[in-house]
């Protein structure tokens, strides 16, 4: 089960209803925070997500509305005796930015950390999943992140029963994708097992429309995509290197995703219904995010 919680769905300026950017993804024992805007600590509390659950932070880029929550979050984690290794990933310069931002104030308690600068197409591997970084097109180096659950090989017990194969340790070889031989009979993995394809969740934040958006989103079960402007501001979006609602929908359609959630809305919008309706003309299965929206896959 993959659980996604939207902690912040606004853009550069937070509003009374939308915080700076942040999305929390829980998978098994891992908690992945995608961007960490100002106010994230309070959002976590309201969402009833303990900061101790966070194991990895993925930064899309180093504009303030995506990172200003980092020092406060880490200070609180340290004060509460966070006992894991916190891993922080981001585009080139992330190591130096984290060092500088944490040296800007006094903090007696420390958190054990590993900070990694990612390049285009780098892959972070973990137990049961991986995260791929794809460089996009923005005024600062920006990464899309693909959370990809590992495929799982399932044994077809009905097939084995039909061929008089009893459960036992040798079946582990089938799960490893290897043919087996029992009582002189060859059991092919292609016939005795099926593949359950892992889920894919993609995060696209702060970018102009580009082919790499489509590449990163390809085949996603869930695409979480910035939609700073409605389509009437297409020229402004181009100037500021952001997406409109219709451009986000085009990405979803071209990438053949299953569900699109728009986020990162300009503070000019009291209601984002217009953006949803514009997107739906191109891609039907679309939803607009709000702070504390929860999605399970």
Catalytic residues: 65
Spatial distance between the Cα atoms of 117 and 159, rounded to a whole number of angstroms = 47
Residues 6+ apart with CB under 8 A from 129: 27, 30, 147, 148, 149, 150, 198
Spatial distance between the Cα atoms of 69 and 37, rounded to a whole number of angstroms = 5
Query: Which DSSP string do the residues of 196-225 spell out, in sequence order?
Result: EPPPEEEEE-S----HHHHHHHTT-SEEEE
Structure tokens given for 254: 């071209």
> Which residues in 14-128 belong to E strands, given as ranges?
22-27, 30-34, 56-58, 86-91, 113-118, 123-126
């Amino acid at each position: 089960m993959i659980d996604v919680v939207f902690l912040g769905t606004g853009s550069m300026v937070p509003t009374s209803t939308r915080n700076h950017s942040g999305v929390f993804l829980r998978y098994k024992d891992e908690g992945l925070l995608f961007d960490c805007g100002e106010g994230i600590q309070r959002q976590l509390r309201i969402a009833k997500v303990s900061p101790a659950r966070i194991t990895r932070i993925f930064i899309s880029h180093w504009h303030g509305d995506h990172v200003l929550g980092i020092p406060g979050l880490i200070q609180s984690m340290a004060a509460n005796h966070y006992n894991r290794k916190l891993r922080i990933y981001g585009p080139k310069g992330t190591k130096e930015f984290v060092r500088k931002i944490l040296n800007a104030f006094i903090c007696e308690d420390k958190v054990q950390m590993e900070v990694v600068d990612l390049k285009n197409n780098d892959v972070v591997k973990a137990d049961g999943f991986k995260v791929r970084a794809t460089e996009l097109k923005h005024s600062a180096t920006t990464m899309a992140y693909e959370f990809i659950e590992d495929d799982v090989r399932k044994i077809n017990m009905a097939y084995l029963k039909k061929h008089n194969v009893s459960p036992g340790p040798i079946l582990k070889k089938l799960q490893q994708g290897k043919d087996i031989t029992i009582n002189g009979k060859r059991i092919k993995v292609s016939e005795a097992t099926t593949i359950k394809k892992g889920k894919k969740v993609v995060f696209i934040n702060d970018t102009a429309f580009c082919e790499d958006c489509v590449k990163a989103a390809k085949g996603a079960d869930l695409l979480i995509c910035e939609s700073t402007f409605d389509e009437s501001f297409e020229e402004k979006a181009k100037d500021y290197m952001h997406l409109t609602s219709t451009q986000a929908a085009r990405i979803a359609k071209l990438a053949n995703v299953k569900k699109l959630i728009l986020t990162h809305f300009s503070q000019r919008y009291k209601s984002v219904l217009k953006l949803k309706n514009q997107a739906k003309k191109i891609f039907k299965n679309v939803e607009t995010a709000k702070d504390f929206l929860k999605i399970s896959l």
